[in-house]
Structure 1
């Protein structure tokens, strides 16, 4: 007798319920494993490359064994029936029947480059040459990653991840427990998801202060010298050979002599971003990390200068000295960020810092030093820049104040000393003629750079 529509709906509903239950279980396992992986690191040992009994096989063997022992103990032969039925099922679906000889997992990740918080899609597919059941995934995510969605398919699993902070992130590994067609045996296959480059979200910035001296290169910054720009700075008497369209007719009429508009020259600027990566401090009040805010602010400033067709370079001082020659164009922004993506993995440097390379500082380039002003060694680096005559601006990134314990006089005294030391560093820099501006994370960088527009930044005399 053919089943009716109700029976078909019931069967479909049961399959859907099983799929939902399996998906929820897989997601729970993935989330639990990812949390453990964040605390204990990714698993090192690969899964065993052989088939092993599955849960269904263990259940059938348990039924057969319990039935046989109970029948022998009680002397009731009819108790052998459940065990015989389980043995028949095991014999009917013998392990190895139709089981694939080749089994592997392949992953496809996209995109490999993204910004903080953007989704990363991962598709893991099982490659085989036989019949298999629905796989069950166990996901181990790398540090700094979160699982947004997990979907189990008949041939694999689809994941949606995102990174909370910038850096070169290892996505982690996915272990797939693949059963055979009868569900009696299992085999685990692993695939490594590789790495992704997570770029910081630049802070909002539009202002681009400029130094007194600019290189002889056409740009968008107005100078005090006469040139071929578009900004009129005065008039002067006509010289034979001048274009007629530059005649300033009101002045010509008043003075009874031909007067010519005088335009200011427009030049491009060279800027260098100096990143202090000596340490990464955590603000206990807000949970912000100084290294994250340093790169976000620097990326916002670099993007503002690149939009004005200026050249900008990079120097990162920390566990490893990193540098990038000044350049322009959209690609330069990504070169700047990629050069410091691995700064988190650098070992802290002990002792004095090496001297800055000459090639990293173009002549008269404006240097922006992004630093939390928490390490005295950064003053030596800033002193080297000042000695070379480059104009310098220090952008202070807050590192978060230590939280004293209530009622502890020693903690309160230590906090006062900590504040006094930072104020002494600021006073030392200002005493050398170096402007120090403070940047508040979450606010636009223009608020900190606005006072610098009152006059052009001067370098030290060499």
Structure 2
């Protein structure tokens, strides 16, 4: 009797043509962002069906909640199901086949079927920070850490007078206003627009180091994209230059849509090689004629590589305005001050102190060469970079 019941249950399981599934997956996600995957399940059978559904997900898209969805679909009806995924790594990934299990009408037998589906997903860097910054608006940027600054600079249209601060161009001092006010006063102008900003992304060995659950390179790309968005809104042209031991990608400064920049940078991977700074700056010398803000995302540890970088930055500063965003490792800083409890700790602490000392020497040399430096933890890179850009515009440094 039981065998007959099982056989009858198996024969009454709806055919493959009676159960249909449509799946929608966002084609683009920002790194660290969550998104909803939706499934529409259609039952063309004359009786309700009990289903279990599981998608083949790449490990780079982490599912939130249970791996399997449960649904009871009435006869000749459809139901919508959904679950959330979080993008954990940049790149191009695919949500693959769907595994469907159907319970027979008598509840005795599950029938399994694989439905061939394929949904490509591109995980891009920094889009979550860009959207967050846009939502904050000019009035509320302080919660992200960025200052609100009007577009002032060294343009042709006079705007206002203000008190002199160290670092202002002496040529902007208004001597009549200074005498009248009894304090050094400078002229401010509307910020010049259509200036060049080039995002220089070091994709060498140090950029693969994981800090706060993300590669140093991911932090750099997030800050770079947000800077591109802000600079574009200030009327500037933005380009991108990715290099390691060779040039990987170059987009000349232009009014480039942010989505195109995100696509261009999304596939960037750090390589286990030392960056070729001489080759990178030689390449740029042949590409950039107009004075530009060169924003280099990197870090400096090796003394020889640092010396080469300082020399090329100093040479570039004769035509351009270099800004080095040095993304330091908090774990290295902690190791340099950690309590010493054994012989191994002595060597670890000494090595960390030596590396940090070499780093400080390199950054100081950049300062002396007239290079702007933003020394920041990766987690703070977004507001720090935006603030330095706004400072450059406000003070007319470019």
Both structures adopt the same fold (TM-score exceeding 0.5): yes
The reply on whether 1:108 has 2:24 as its aligned counterpart is yes
Distance 1:91 1:423, change over 3 A: closer
Distance 1:371 1:115, change over 3 A: same
Equivalent positions of 1:41-52 (< 5 A) are: none
Gaps of 5+ in 2: 134-143, 162-186
- Alignment correspondent of 2:63: 147
Q: 2:288 aligns with which of 355, 358, 361?
A: 361
1:210-232 superposed Cα distances (whole Å, 9 cap, x missing partner): xxxxxxxxxx65427xx4x3526
Distance 1:313 1:349, change over 3 A: same
- Alignment correspondent of 2:357: 420
Equivalent positions of 1:243-282 (< 5 A) are: 267-268=192-193, 269-278=195-204, 279-282=207-210
Distance 1:105 1:223, change over 3 A: same
Of structures 1 and 2, the one scoring higher in RCO (CA 8 A, sep 6+) is 2
The count of corresponding residues between Structure 1 and Structure 2 is 327
User: Does the Cα contact within 8 Å between 1:392 and 1:434 map onto a contact in 2?
Assistant: yes
Q: 2:299 aligns with which of 372, 379, 382?
A: 372
Distance 1:179 1:162, change over 3 A: closer
The alpha carbon displacement at 1:326 in A equals: 1.3
The alpha carbon displacement at 1:413 in A equals: 1.3
- Alignment correspondent of 2:169: none
Equivalent positions of 1:62-211 (< 5 A) are: 85-93=1-9, 95=11, 99-100=15-16, 106-109=22-25, 111-116=26-31, 118-125=33-40, 133-148=49-64, 151-153=69-71, 154=73, 158-163=81-86, 167-168=90-91, 170=93, 172-173=95-96, 175-179=98-102, 181-182=104-105, 184=109, 186-190=111-115, 191-200=117-126, 201-202=129-130, 204=144, 205=146
User: Does the Cα contact within 8 Å between 1:101 and 1:128 map onto a contact in 2?
Assistant: no
User: Does the Cα contact within 8 Å between 1:397 and 1:438 map onto a contact in 2?
Assistant: yes
C-alpha distance in structure 2 between counterparts of 1:100 and 1:289, whole Å: 45
- Alignment correspondent of 1:387: 315
User: Does the Cα contact within 8 Å between 1:167 and 1:199 map onto a contact in 2?
Assistant: yes
C-alpha distance in structure 2 between counterparts of 1:295 and 1:358, whole Å: 23
SS in 1 for 2:331: coil
Larger fraction in strand: 2
The reply on whether 1:398 has 2:323 as its aligned counterpart is no
1:417-456 superposed Cα distances (whole Å, 9 cap, x missing partner): 1112211221332332212222343473266568767955
Scaled by the length of structure 1, the TM-score of the pair is: 0.58
- Alignment correspondent of 2:154: 223
The alpha carbon displacement at 1:377 in A equals: 4.4
The alpha carbon displacement at 1:341 in A equals: 0.9
The reply on whether 1:436 has 2:383 as its aligned counterpart is no
C-alpha distance in structure 2 between counterparts of 1:327 and 1:371, whole Å: 23
SS in 1 for 2:291: coil
Scaled by the length of structure 2, the TM-score of the pair is: 0.66
The alpha carbon displacement at 1:365 in A equals: 0.8
SS in 2 for 1:433: coil
Structure 1 vs Structure 2 CA RMSD = 4.0
Rg: which structure is higher? 1
User: Does the Cα contact within 8 Å between 1:144 and 1:169 map onto a contact in 2?
Assistant: no
C-alpha distance in structure 1 between counterparts of 2:152 and 2:387, whole Å: 20
C-alpha distance in structure 1 between counterparts of 2:45 and 2:306, whole Å: 63
C-alpha distance in structure 1 between counterparts of 2:356 and 2:160, whole Å: 49
Distance 1:456 1:292, change over 3 A: same
The reply on whether 1:292 has 2:218 as its aligned counterpart is yes
Gaps of 5+ in 1: 1-84, 210-219, 234-261
SS in 2 for 1:334: helix
1:259-278 superposed Cα distances (whole Å, 9 cap, x missing partner): xxx99676322211212222
The alpha carbon displacement at 1:290 in A equals: 2.0
The alpha carbon displacement at 1:96 in A equals: 7.3
Equivalent positions of 1:317-328 (< 5 A) are: 317-318=243-244, 321-328=248-255
User: Does the Cα contact within 8 Å between 1:314 and 1:360 map onto a contact in 2?
Assistant: no
Distance 1:120 1:378, change over 3 A: farther
Distance 1:280 1:364, change over 3 A: same
